[in-house]
Structure 1
Amino acid sequence: MTLPTYFVSHGGGPWPWMKDQYGRAYDKLEASLQAMRRDAGDRVRAVLVVTSHWETPGFMLSSGTAPGMIYDYGGFPPHTYQVRYPAPGEPALAQQAAALLSTAGHPAGLDPARGFDHGTFSMLYPVYPEAAMPVVQLSLRRDLDPLGHIEAGRALAPLRDDGVLLIGSGLSYHNLRQFGPSGAAASKAFDGWLQQALALPPQERTAALLGWLDAPMARAAHPREEHLIPLMVALGAAEREPAACVYHEEDFFGSLTVSSFRFG
């Protein structure tokens, strides 16, 4: 059976290991991630994460058997720099994905040394806390071209029939200079546009996403779009299938509107 794809707003830093500090702030996001596992069930044999925290000139896939950890955040408590998420890699899947991308005209390489960044391990911990599910990461291409990433998703679509859960990990709003009350208007306006765009018929939906810079307050929501581009890959891999909002709140960090989506 064909698996859905997801675009996940992954939250901030190592939040699953900071519940004493954050309290119930992440309850809704955590519940939506746990629901992802229930929805996919036992059909999943591996996860392919398109991470907003890894950019390379051309597409790259993590291909090590036991990826390490990348603590790509600052100013958090000391214990969050000791976090371990010991999920195995799957070199064969990395090779398969690289071949699909290369055949489609998007040359892709393998990086056996790449570890898990927090866009991967913080998001996956609520889904697979036992860290037994094999995980491969896909980088963003540094040009952040929307069409190129939609095409990458199209190329990777066959993996959905092979037990691979494709997750684009980013944030529907990502302006760290206005990550609070000053970002409320931009996050709400952009999220409203995103909800409407993803409800369009497939061809119109793709066109809308390609023109995302025309959305209300687009650059205020994404001064740089690396946290939005994983959405393009998730969309491309399920381009003709319906979208559903699977996580939404309007008081993230007290004032921000953020969402996650499932395709298929």
Structure 2
Amino acid sequence: MTTRLPTYFISHGGGPWPYMDGPFRRRFDVLERTLAGIPAELPAPPRAVLVVTAHWEAPQFLLSAHPQPPMLYDYGGFPPHTYEVRYPAPGDPALAAQVAGLLRAGGLHAALDAERGFDHGSFTTLQPIYPQANVPVVQMSLQQELDPALHLHAGRLLAPLRDEGVLILASGLSFHNLRSFDARGAAASQAFDNWLREAVLQPDPSERAARLMRWAEAPAARQAHPREDHLLPLMVAAGAAGADGAVLHYHEDEFFGGLAVSGFRFGGG
């Protein structure tokens, strides 16, 4: 059995939902079950997790290198206790340096950030997967120009990590128009999600990459993503997948009152 780990594009949900109770938390029941099932899908436990987060952009790719990352409460309007939660997973400065080295060797600009803490694109994703916070975590930023080809290339450069026990989690959201984050966005989200599933699940990896690079031509593309920060992590996961196929890992048609959202696993059987 291969121990090569799959890669994932995860729709990470809204705000600090894993740390809440009541109706808001219940909106994420399907997502929570899906995330909690990831460890059982892996051929071996990872030695570390690399989270490509939609909530961090920089002029070059940055890697978090704090050995005990602090927290970034990058949300507003939630209960006071959600600004005190901790996800105490250790960082992995050596892995951060390795990732930066792989990117530089492939001609990309990359550097370390020794101060960066866990943003909610990371800790809310990881809490249901590894609630014990016992797996080291490194975060990777997006490059702020949000060029899909650049991020696909970055993913390809990171593919060797999959054979070294590093789980690559691309954390974004397949529909991210906060002005239509309810039934008003239903038609646009369905149109874009139909296109996205066909593009990602198509069996030819070269054609998959070509379609993803042209994502802005998709039906309702800019209604789904007025700004593509939450879609670009997908490019890194798809690039790191290489020739591996994808499966629909998560899907809902009634997310937040009618939105179609999806997540994907690349490789892993």
Q: The TM-score by the shorter chain falls in which range?
A: over 0.9
The code of the aligned residue for 2:172 comes to G
**Which runs of no fewer than 5 residues in structure 1 stay unpaired?**
none
What's the TM-score once normalised by structure 1's chain length? 0.98
Q: In the alignment, is the contact (CA less than 8 A) between 1:101 and 1:108 conserved in 2?
A: yes
1:162-177 to structure 2, matched below 5 A, reads: 162-177=164-179
The alignment of Structure 1 onto Structure 2 pairs a total of residues equal to 264
Aligned residue number for residue 128 of structure 2 = 126
Q: Deviations over 1:36-63 (max 9, x none)?
A: 1111154311000000000000000000
1:17: how far off?
1.0
2: distance between equivalents of 1:220 and 1:189? Answer: 10
The code of the aligned residue for 1:145 comes to D
Q: What secondary structure, in the 3-state scheme, does the structure 2 residue paired with 1:139 have?
A: strand
Q: Deviations over 1:101-155 (max 9, x none)?
A: 0000012100010000000000100000011110000000000000000000000
Aligned residue number for residue 93 of structure 2 = 91
Query: For the structure 1 residues 152 and 184, does the alpha-carbon distance in structure 2 shift closer, same or farther, using more than 3 Å as the test?
Result: same
The code of the aligned residue for 1:122 comes to T
Please, which of 19, 25, 28 is the counterpart of residue 26 of structure 1? 28
Question: Does residue 149 of the first structure (1) align with residue 151 of the second (2)?
Answer: yes
Please, which of 231, 234, 237 is the counterpart of residue 231 of structure 1? 234
1:19: how far off?
2.2
Q: In the alignment, is the contact (CA less than 8 A) between 2:17 and 2:25 conserved in 1?
A: no
Q: In the alignment, is the contact (CA less than 8 A) between 1:206 and 1:239 conserved in 2?
A: no
Q: Deviations over 1:78-116 (max 9, x none)?
A: 111011001000001000000000000012100010000
Q: What secondary structure, in the 3-state scheme, does the structure 2 residue paired with 1:197 have?
A: helix
Percent same amino acid at aligned positions? 60
1: distance between equivalents of 2:58 and 2:30? Answer: 32
**More displaced 10-residue stretch of structure 1: 23-32 or 215-224:** 23-32
2: distance between equivalents of 1:80 and 1:165? Answer: 27
Please, which of 40, 43, 49 is the counterpart of residue 42 of structure 2? 40
Q: In the alignment, is the contact (CA less than 8 A) between 2:5 and 2:43 conserved in 1?
A: no
Aligned residue number for residue 55 of structure 1 = 57
1:100-249 to structure 2, matched below 5 A, reads: 100-200=102-202, 201-249=204-252
Q: What secondary structure, in the 3-state scheme, does the structure 2 residue paired with 1:19 have?
A: coil
What's the TM-score once normalised by structure 2's chain length? 0.97
1:35: how far off?
1.3
The code of the aligned residue for 1:166 comes to I
2: distance between equivalents of 1:121 and 1:228? Answer: 18
Q: What secondary structure, in the 3-state scheme, does the structure 1 residue paired with 2:189 have?
A: helix
The code of the aligned residue for 2:208 comes to R
1:23: how far off?
4.8
Q: Deviations over 1:199-236 (max 9, x none)?
A: 22111111000000110000000000000000000000
The code of the aligned residue for 2:258 comes to S
2: distance between equivalents of 1:199 and 1:47? Answer: 24
1: distance between equivalents of 2:85 and 2:26? Answer: 20
**Which runs of no fewer than 5 residues in structure 2 stay unpaired?**
none
2: distance between equivalents of 1:64 and 1:21? Answer: 35
